[in-house]
Amino acid sequence: MKKMILLVLCLSILSSFAYSESVISFNGPGYDALGYACTLADGRMIFTGYRGEEGNYQESRARLLCLNQDKTVSWEYWDPAEGQCGYGAALMCGDGTLAVIFSNSPYQKLTERKIKFFTTEGEPLEKTVDILYDDSLLNAVCPSFLQITVIPGDAEVFYRYFLDWDGNELFKIASNEEITIEKSFEAEDGVVLMGCEPTWPSNAKIMKLDLKGSLLWETVLPTHLEHLPDARLEYCRQTSDGGYLALYFESAGSMSDGKTPDRYQALVKFNQDGRLLWMNHDCFPQGEFKQCKGLYEYDGKYVMELNTTQKSFSIDHPRVFLWFDEEGHELGQTELIINPEDLNIKADQGKIENVGGSFVTMPDGLWMLRDIMIESDNHMKEMDSRNEILFKIPEL
């Protein structure tokens, strides 16, 4: 009987997908989330997340979705666990299995986090690895390590733990040592960390450690502004040539005097040994509001999503994409205009907002998976609807 109910549920979910040449909607009736996780060796794409119960965002089912290269559904899996459950990061293991992070946080209290394993056809395997730490966040999932930050409520110092895929500790970094981590990457014989110094004011920093936590190299960037500038690396990415791409963000001053803090932003590129190759500050002209919302590498170019308005959540404003060559030279920009009629959402459901998104490479071009929130008039979250919609990004 349970299998029959689950089959009917899955059929109703699959029928909610809406396709066009430039928009793919994964709409459901509840508070849903879905994110791109990885691409299989045969080109199929894995998405992970959850689907919330309609009218109650505290109840959700963990969800795995596999799309074929033509964007039709290959398979879908719903975890039987009950609570506020979800699947997160996923990657392919060396033995050909798919590893996925599962978590359960009823009433916003993490009670379960483990690695679950699947075949590439969505069949669950018996093996699981428990990686639950109290008061913790999972920050990075890489082929050789997992990074978890543990923040006890009453502690002045917290730790970032690096674990192997069996849950064993490789090393840890205290929050007041070495670096404040924005992003971690696997590199040959070690880990590359990007972010800033663990002090205030801070300088932007990139460094490499071996898998025992010993320093191999580090690069600290000088600041550009006066009055106690605070700098960091954001939206960090590992590039196909082994280097590292990031947004350099620096601010100085305080809003306490009623003035907006000074800003210095630039697109920066490092080689595999942490040497700064180039810095493009010209793409952020003085006096113009431009806020980076994402970086990606696609077809031999780098693309940056920009906010050009303070109303960043509104779908009434185009999404702007700035394109660069591999040397950091600006090539031009394109715009994505979201038409509410393409969203497969009733206009009377509430205020439509564009919460965020991530890039996805597909055989026919570059797409972006956007979180579209339908906010109810009374602002009660359990009555809101959240949907995941893929948009094709206009290219140069």
Q: State the total domains in the chain.
A: 1
Residue 213 counted as domain residue: yes
Average pLDDT, the chain: 83
* Distance between CA atoms of residues 116 and 104, nearest Å: 13
**Would the pLDDT of 136 be above 60?**
yes
Q: Regarding predicted confidence, which is higher, 289 or 73?
A: 73
Q: For residue range 161-180, list pLDDT tens digits in order.
A: 999 988 899 999 998 888 99
Q: For residue range 293-336, list pLDDT tens digits in order.
A: 889 999 999 999 987 766 555 677 788 899 999 999 999 999 98
**Would the pLDDT of 384 be above 80?**
no
* Distance between CA atoms of residues 183 and 192, nearest Å: 8
pTM to 2 decimal places = 0.86
Edge-first strand listing for the sheet containing 244-252:
230-238, 244-252, 262-270, 276-280
* Distance between CA atoms of residues 195 and 201, nearest Å: 13
* Distance between CA atoms of residues 106 and 108, nearest Å: 5
**Would the pLDDT of 277 be above 50?**
yes
Q: Regarding predicted confidence, which is higher, 286 or 322?
A: 322
Span 106-127, average pLDDT: 90
* Distance between CA atoms of residues 145 and 121, nearest Å: 25
Secondary structure class of 7 (helix, strand, coil): helix
Residue 51 counted as domain residue: no
* Distance between CA atoms of residues 143 and 165, nearest Å: 8
Out of 146-150, 189-193, 291-295, give the one with best mean pLDDT.
189-193
Question: What CATH number is given to the structural domain containing 189?
Answer: 2.120.10.10
Span 365-384, average pLDDT: 67
265-271, long-range: CB < 8 A, 24+ apart: 265/290, 265/292, 267/295, 267/302, 267/304, 267/324, 267/328, 268/221, 268/233, 269/239, 269/243, 269/244, 269/245, 269/328, 270/206, 270/219, 270/243, 270/244, 270/245, 270/246, 271/242, 271/243
Q: Exposed, middle or buried by CB within 10 Å (0-12, 13-18, 19+), for 309? A: middle
User: Per mean pLDDT, which range of 153-157, 232-236, 372-376 is the poorest?
Assistant: 372-376
Residue 191 counted as domain residue: yes
Would you state the pLDDT for residue 37? 93
User: Per mean pLDDT, which range of 39-43, 65-69, 120-124, 380-384 is the poorest?
Assistant: 380-384
Residue 259 counted as domain residue: yes
Would you state the pLDDT for residue 346? 52
**Would the pLDDT of 348 be above 60?**
no
Q: With beta carbons less than 8 A apart as the criterion, state whether 212 and 222 touch.
A: no
Sign of the Cα torsion 14, 20, 25, 27 reads: negative
Would you state the pLDDT for residue 5? 30
Q: For residue range 51-93, list pLDDT tens digits in order.
A: 887 666 678 899 999 999 998 999 999 999 988 999 999 999 8
- pLDDT range class, residue 222, cuts 50, 70, 90: very high
Sign of the Cα torsion 52, 57, 62, 65 reads: positive
Angle at 319 between CA 224 and CA 37, to 5 degrees: 90
Residue 84 counted as domain residue: no
Residue 76 counted as domain residue: no
Would you state the pLDDT for residue 1? 34
- Cα dihedral 322/327/331/334 (nearest 10): -20
Residue 344 counted as domain residue: no
Residue 224 counted as domain residue: yes
Would you state the pLDDT for residue 394? 93
Span 206-223, average pLDDT: 96
Using a pLDDT cut of 70, give the percent of the chain over it: 81
- Cα 184 to Cα 49, 143, 162, 169, 268: the distances in Å are 22, 12, 10, 16, 17
DSSP string, 249-306: EEEES-GGGSPPPEEEEEEEEE-TTS-EEEEE-TTS-TTS--EEEEEEEETTEEEEEE
* Distance between CA atoms of residues 380 and 83, nearest Å: 20
Would you state the pLDDT for residue 290? 78
Q: Regarding predicted confidence, which is higher, 155 or 212?
A: 212
What range defines the domain where residue 221 resides? 146-275
Which DSSP helix (H) or strand (E) runs through 41? none
**Would the pLDDT of 120 be above 90?**
yes
